[in-house]
Amino acid sequence: MHPLISRRALNRATLDRQFLLRRTGRSVIDVVEHLGGLQAQTPHTWYTGLWNRIEGFKPDDAAGLLSSRQLVRIALQRSTIHLVTARDCLAMRPLLQIVGERNGKGAFAKRLEGVDLDELAAAGRELLEARPMTFAELGRALAERWPSHDPHALGQGVRWLLPLVQVPPRGLWGRSGPIAHTTAACWLGFEAPPMTAAELVLRYLAAFGPASVMDVQTWSGLTRLGEVVESMDLARFTDENGRTLYDLPGAARPSEDTPAPVRLMYDFDNLFLSHADRSRVITERGAAFIKGFMGKNAMLPRVILADGVTAGDWTVTRAKGTSTLTLHQWEPISDMEGAEEEGRRLLEFLAPDDKHAIAVADGLSRS
């Protein structure tokens, strides 16, 4: 039998590797690479994810790296937009290409019948490397060549055939811009060796372990990783449900009694999306609240972590020059003083020029 590891110990190990027990002084590039990227389909909320993890983080610390092409936003894990380093973009995408293809074919294959996909990829590459385009622009341009086909399907076909990055000003703090794309090769101008499945597993465990094979597959979108994981020299544990969990042999696993401060998480934080069994951070009550929120809003709430697990969500409203952060309690937050202090710090980050106020409410927020 492998050593038993409790759910609370899993919680502390994961929070430690996510830099959520204490903020780190490491650089933005180091943190983004360690985390295997941050889910970033929204233009700006992921900045809060970095603020939660990096001591003294300022928006320009990441925005400048996007502008200089050291960070990019591209569809990777689960075929969702992630903020990753340029090197990880080029290394991860070949391995994860199959994930985008599987999703794309499922949604658009019938609407692309009769289109030679190699020709579609070549035509899309030529257009997008001439100038960045939105998918609507790309679809219209491609429809000139395939007039009997749906422009939207043509544009989305190119999305899963080619590695495409969203280009600034989209994603820059305090700015907006069209959701325009070009190829990663054109944008970055260098090559990197593709990552192997075993290397991806190691990166995942460094940021999210200990974890099961199904956890790795949930995070990445890949399948059939069991043989890969079993062939690796990894530490093995058994969780409270009898599942086998794997970890890096020398990884830190803090005591389950390690204090976990209040954290105000952004809406698509990978902490909540990267395990098949999410009970290490999401309580049963929290799961019900999240399901209810998603049913109303078709997105995730901004979750409050207290003692390492879901305890509520937070919202910010602005009126007459005052930004108010409301802490919505799903259950009583024992360290309310710490939550309010963290809320004030977050307002200094999100709205430094406003007056600030903190409010507390019971139950799930509406938006």
Task: Give the pLDDT confidence of 314-337 residue by residue, as tens digits.
Answer: 999 999 999 999 999 999 998 999
What proportion of the chain, given as a percentage, has pLDDT over 70?
100
Mean pLDDT taken over the chain: 96
Cα–Cα distance, 271 to 52 (Å, whole number): 12
Crossing angle of helices 135-143 and 151-161, in 10° steps, is 110
Can you give the pLDDT at residue 159? 94
pLDDT at 107: 87
Phi, psi of 61 (to 5 degrees): -60, -35
pLDDT at 109 over 90: no
Encode pLDDT of 61-93 as tens digits. Answer: 999 999 999 999 999 999 999 999 999 999 999
User: What pLDDT is stored for residue 36 in this prediction?
Assistant: 98
* 39 vs 299, higher pLDDT: 39
How many CA atoms lie within 13 Å of 80's alpha carbon, on the beta-carbon side?
19
Predicted confidence (pLDDT) at residue 347 exceeds the cutoff of 90: yes
Tell me: the pLDDT tens digits for 26-64?
999 999 999 999 999 999 999 999 999 999 999 999 999
Reported as a pLDDT band with limits 50, 70 and 90, residue 207 is very high
Q: Does position 367 have pLDDT exceeding 80, yes or no?
A: no
Banded model confidence at residue 199, pLDDT cuts 50, 70, 90:
very high
What pLDDT does 205 receive? 98
**pLDDT digits 0-9 by tens, 113-146:** 999 999 999 999 999 999 999 999 999 999 999 9
Q: Per-residue pLDDT averaged across 219-243, rounded?
A: 97
Helices 151-161 and 117-130 cross at an angle (nearest 10°) of 90
Dihedrals phi, psi of 186, to nearest 5 degrees:
-70, -40
pLDDT of residue 15: 98
Statement: residue 1 has pLDDT above 90: no
User: What pLDDT is recorded for position 105?
Assistant: 86
The partner residues of 361 in beta bridges, in order of sequence, read 328
Residue 295 has pLDDT above 90, yes or no: no
CB-CB neighbours of 148 under 10 Å: 7
pLDDT at 226 > cutoff 90: yes
Q: Which two tokens stand for residue 57?
A: 């983080």
| pLDDT on residue 320 | 95
Matching residue, tokens 């879901």:
310
Is 264 in contact with 227 (CB distance < 8 Å)?
A: no
Mean pLDDT for 246-261 is 96
**Residue 132 — φ and ψ, nearest 5°?**
-60, 140
Quickly list H helices, the chain. 7-17, 28-34, 46-51, 59-67, 86-108, 117-130, 135-143, 151-161, 184-188, 197-208, 213-220, 226-230, 284-297, 336-350
3-state SS string for 258-276: CCCCCEECCCCCHHHCCCC
pTM of this structure:
0.96
Q: Which amino acid is at 191?
A: E
Residue 206 in tokens: 């460094």
Average pLDDT over residues 157-177: 96
pLDDT category, 296, cuts 50, 70, 90?
A: confident
pLDDT of 298 above 90: no
Q: Is a pLDDT exceeding 90 seen at residue 112? A: yes
Residue 318 parent element (H or E): strand 309-319
Of all residues in the chain, the percent with pLDDT exceeding 90 is 95
